[in-house]
Amino acid sequence: MILKELSEAFGPSGYETPVRQLLRQALEGHVDRIWVDALGNLHTEKRGTGEDRLRVLVTAHMDEIGLMVVGHDDSGTLKVRPVGGIDPRVLPGAQVWVGPDRIPGVIGLKPVHLLEEGEAEKVAPIEQLRVDVGAKGKEEAKNLAPVGTVAVFATRFRELGPTVMGKAFDDRAGCAVLAELVRGEPFPHDLHGVFTVQEEVGLRGARVAAYAARPDCAFALEGTIADDLPKEKDVSPTTEMGKGPAITVMDRTFIAHRGLVRLLVETAEGVGIPYQFKQPGVGGTDSGAIHLAREGVPCVTVAVPCRYIHSPVSLLSLADFENTVRLMREALARLTRRTIS
Amino acid sequence: METFPLLKELSETPGLPGHEGPVREAVRRLWTPLVDDLREDGLGSLIGLKRGSAPEPRPRLMLAAHMDEVGLRVTGFEKGFLRIARVGGTDRRVMPGIEVVVHGRRDLPGIVGMRPPHVVPQEQRNKPVPWEELFIDLGLPEEEIQEWVRVGDPVSFSRELVELKNGLAAGKALDNRASVAAVTLALEQLGRMEHAWDVVAVATVQEEVGLYGAATSAYGVAPDMAVAVDVTFGQQPGVSADESFPLGEGPTVGVGPNFHPQVVERLKATAEAQEIPYHIEPTPGRSGTDAWAIQVAREGVPTGLVSIPLRYMHQPVETVALKDVERAARLLASFAAGLEADFRPRWEDEG
């Protein structure tokens, strides 16, 4: 399963090379053109079979959240800062891979036995946390992991039955969906599939990719928040695992094109694929950059619901994954110029 | 035996207090070729006897290392998720986002779930998640969970032991599997050494919930002398050097009311004779180890304590130096082999 390889690949924002290499290998021979741009986005082009062909951009981001080394302690531990959005409460107790060579490291806290009054009620900010790679002192730590070295959670992919768990499903799930689309039969329209960089630090890759692609319309594929969890104030689950692909009508960064939303809904209902709408106003995706490219691009986000994103281990339903691939395939087959006019 | 693979097997095998079955079987396999007799007591501690060469009745030295680990227990169900409570001194600050195994009618991997930062209000992020809000996700339909899991089932951390730089190892349950490994290596070494005393190795149960296994096994073994083996606080960022010991500079020997001065002297003398580096660990009262229970078994047992420095205690990233495990093993074996048939720890004014 390409999702397993993608999930275990090393690639925080700006350091996506191992993910890109993996995808390039998987996609060569299935596309008419494949290239890398100045920021590191992986572009693919697959010519369509139809007469009146649209240029359809489909993106998924390769980067994942992680940590960056910003300094070293005399004791030999590493000081780090987050790459992308991380709740510091998920860091203590985690095992990490430091650098693309995956030097094992751990993040521990002062033992619970030695805490002072009230200390147990405090969250250690990331500035106080240290990554321990076993270095004996500052010099060794600097040699092993110089300032600027990046790290990711050390999590192995695992199948639980109807669900799978692993790190970085945001957005390696989207990458796996896009890889399936690119590797399948050609569509009537020209498919410009881009695996983008630096989504987690501000949708940077998508911005230049969309400019270069000059698309007629675009789909951003994501692994998005499923907050269908036990919690006190249950306003919305955002999305629910197992209820099918999630269509975004609006989030913090864009409003989806109504024609594309209609296409997805009518396709899902016509073919009989479960689907859901993501709670409006939550999160942001590459669509936020793509819809503003040049003179504007009709855009929508389709996502596989994933629980516990931005933590060491996320969870998704394989049925949701398959249904996202199916929905995208069927929708791209039904897309016409009228959809976006 | 190679230390890292031995420690890896012991670390990764589950064994919660009162549910030590899997780790007990692992220890049984390891000890069977190393001892003359192996038995289990009423609470489940594993007792291995290695006979000495002195004429009967031979004095007995008990070497005790607890094999249980801190963890969790299922307390209820909610919307297909499991609610949990801690067993032993599990640190809730490390719970969000970790992988666990629920030991139900079969072992089920799961995640202690954490809501993503996108939907968590800032004020909540400044507080550790309280126990009553933590839950486990098994990624299975509710009906299947009902079939496999019941309230009370134990839950252990799921974590591979990894080797860090400079011969350090990091993983779960090194408190106290590092010591079980040390006792195992000591038994192996004793197989090549002459020793007058009987050596009784005990992998005790239920230390983390109240030193219960040490109490019953010390009664059962009725030793003439005992050394408990445990872990102690290793030096790490944020912890004062006054209350911790550096990794890689040898085990510690406890001094204080919990320990008989002659046992302490013998341990120190052995370390010095064998050129094993060690630190003295001052323990003004309760040691919080099996030694505390063993000392007051029956009519009282002269007791000592050897500890292996460990970072991040009770977290799934506990870290020790492999060399310290090996040094603790060598200290225990040399100490046992050095006991003369007629030696008994005595008070200087005992008369």
With a CB-CB cutoff of 8 Å, which residues 283-322 of chain B face chain A? 288, 311-319
Asked if A309 and B125 come within 8 Å (Cβ–Cβ), the reply is: no
Q: How confident is the model at residue A103 (pLDDT cuts 50, 70, 90)?
A: very high
Q: Chain A closest CA to B122's CA: distance in Å? A: 10
Q: Does B164 touch chain A (CB under 8 A)?
A: yes
How many of the other CB atoms lie within 10 Å of CB of A136? Answer: 14
Whether chain A has a CB inside 8 Å of the CB on B129: the answer is yes
Rg, Å, chain A Cα set: 21
pLDDT at A104: 98
**Contact call for B118 and A135, based on CB within 8 A:** no
* A112–chain B Cβ distance below 8 A for any pair: yes
Q: Which residues of A touch B319 (CB under 8 A)?
A: 106, 108, 132, 134
For residue B49, list its beta bridge partners.
B37, B200
Q: Provide the pLDDT for residue B157.
A: 98
Strands (E), A62-124: 66-72, 78-83, 95-98, 103-107
ipTM of the complex: 0.92
- A-chain CB neighbours of B83 within 8 Å are 230
Residues of A in contact with B127 (CB under 8 A): 121, 123
Contact A230 B81 (CB under 8 A): yes
SS (H, E, C) chain B: CCHHHHHHHHHHCCCECCECHHHHHHHHHHHHHHCCEEEECCCCCEEEEECCCCCCCCCEEEEEEECCCCEEEEEEEECCEEEEEEECCCCHHHCCCCEEEEECCCEEEEEECCCCHHHCCHHHHCCCCCHHHCEEECCCCHHHHHHHCCCCCEEEECCCCEECHHHEEEECCHHHHHHHHHHHHHHHHHCCCCCCCEEEEEEECCCCCCCHHHHHHHHHHCCCEEEEEEEEEECCCCCCHHHCECCCCCCEEEECCCCCHHHHHHHHHHHHHCCCCCEEEECCCCCCCHHHHHCCCCCCCCEEEEEEEEECCCCCCEEEEHHHHHHHHHHHHHHHHCCCCCCCCCCCCCC
SS3 A81: strand
Beta bridge partner(s), residue A286: none
Which residues in chain B touch residue A282, judged by CB atoms under 8 angstroms apart?
118-119
Among the partner residues A130, A162, A307, nearest to B237 by beta-carbon distance: A130
Predicted local distance difference test score (pLDDT) of residue A232 = 78
Per-residue model confidence (pLDDT) at position A234 = 74
A14–chain B nearest CA distance, Å: 21
A150 in contact with chain B, both atoms CB, cutoff 8 A? no
Scanning A208-227 for CB atoms below 8 A from B yields: 225, 227
Are A280 and A250 in contact by the 8 Å Cβ rule? The answer is yes
| CB distance A186 to A32 below 8 Å | no
Q: Is the peptide bond before B91 cis (omega within 30 degrees of 0)?
A: no
Kindly report, residue by residue over A203-235, the tens digit of the pLDDT: 999 999 999 999 999 999 999 999 999 987 778
The answer for A 237-256 residues in CB contact with B (under 8 A) is 238
Of residues B120, B236, B243, nearest to A87 (C-beta): B120
Average pLDDT, chain A: 96
Q: Check B170 against A104: CB less than 8 A apart.
A: yes
For residue A281, the distance in angstroms to the closest alpha carbon of chain B comes to 11
Check residue B350 and give its pLDDT: 83
**pLDDT (0 to 100) of residue B348:** 85
Q: Which residues pair with A105 in a beta bridge?
A: A96
Cβ within 8 Å, pair A227-B115: yes
- Options A8, A64, A199, A222, the catalytic residue: A199
Backbone angles phi, psi at B174, to 5 degrees: -70, -20
Q: Are B108 and B76 in contact (CB under 8 A)?
A: no
Per-residue pLDDT for A320 more than 90? yes
A280 touching chain B per CB within 8 A? no
Our answer to whether residue A199 is catalytic in this structure is yes
What are the residues facing A306 on neighbouring strands? A225, A316
Q: Is B106 on the interface with A (CB under 8 A)?
A: no
Neighbouring C-alpha atoms within 13 Å toward the C-beta of A316: 34
Query: CA-nearest residue of chain A to B123?
Result: A123
Q: Is A143 on the interface with B (CB under 8 A)?
A: no
> What global pTM score does this model have?
0.94
**In B, which residues are within 8 Å of A230 by CB distance?**
78-79, 81, 83, 135
Which residues of chain B have a pLDDT value below 70?
none
Best residue of A90, A98, A232 to probe chain B, by most B CBs closer than 10 Å: A90
159-198 in chain A: CB under 8 A from chain B: 160-165
Q: Per the CB < 8 Å rule, is B111 touching A230? A: no
- Six-digit token pair at A174? 């989207």
CA B337 – CA B273 distance, rounded (Å) = 13
The answer to whether A130 contacts B120, with C-beta atoms less than 8 Å apart, is no
Cβ neighbours of A95 in B, within 8 Å: 159-160, 162, 170, 316-317
For residues A244 and A283, give the distance between their C-alpha atoms in angstroms, rounded to a whole number: 19
CA distance to A13, A52, A69, A147, A150, per residue, from A142 (Å): 22, 58, 10, 7, 13
CB pairs under 8 A between A and B: 208
Of all residues in chain A, the one with the smallest CA distance to B321 is A134
Write the CA distances from B207 to A86, A99, A230, B273, integer angstroms: 36, 39, 33, 32
Note whether A75 contacts B163, CB cutoff 8 Å. Answer: no
Choice among B20, B69, B207, B326 that is catalytic? B207
Using the Cβ of A114 and the Cβ atoms of chain B, whether some distance falls under 8 Å is answered with yes
Chain centroid to CA B177: 5
Q: Confidence class of residue A121 from pLDDT cuts 50, 70 and 90?
A: very high
| Contact (Cβ atoms closer than 8 angstroms) between residue A320 and residue A305 | yes
Position B180 scores a pLDDT of 98
Contacts of A169 in chain B (CB under 8 A): none
Question: A-contacting residues of B 55-94, CB under 8 Å?
Answer: 78-79, 81, 83, 89, 91, 93-94
Interface membership of A121 toward B (CB under 8 Å):
yes
Q: What is the pLDDT of residues A143-174, one digit of tens each?
A: 999 999 999 999 999 999 999 999 999 999 99
Q: Do B315 and A92 touch (CB under 8 A)?
A: yes
Average pLDDT (A308-327) is 98
Q: Are residues A35 and A189 in contact, defined by beta-carbon separation less than 8 angstroms?
A: no
Between B79 and A245, residue with greater pLDDT: A245
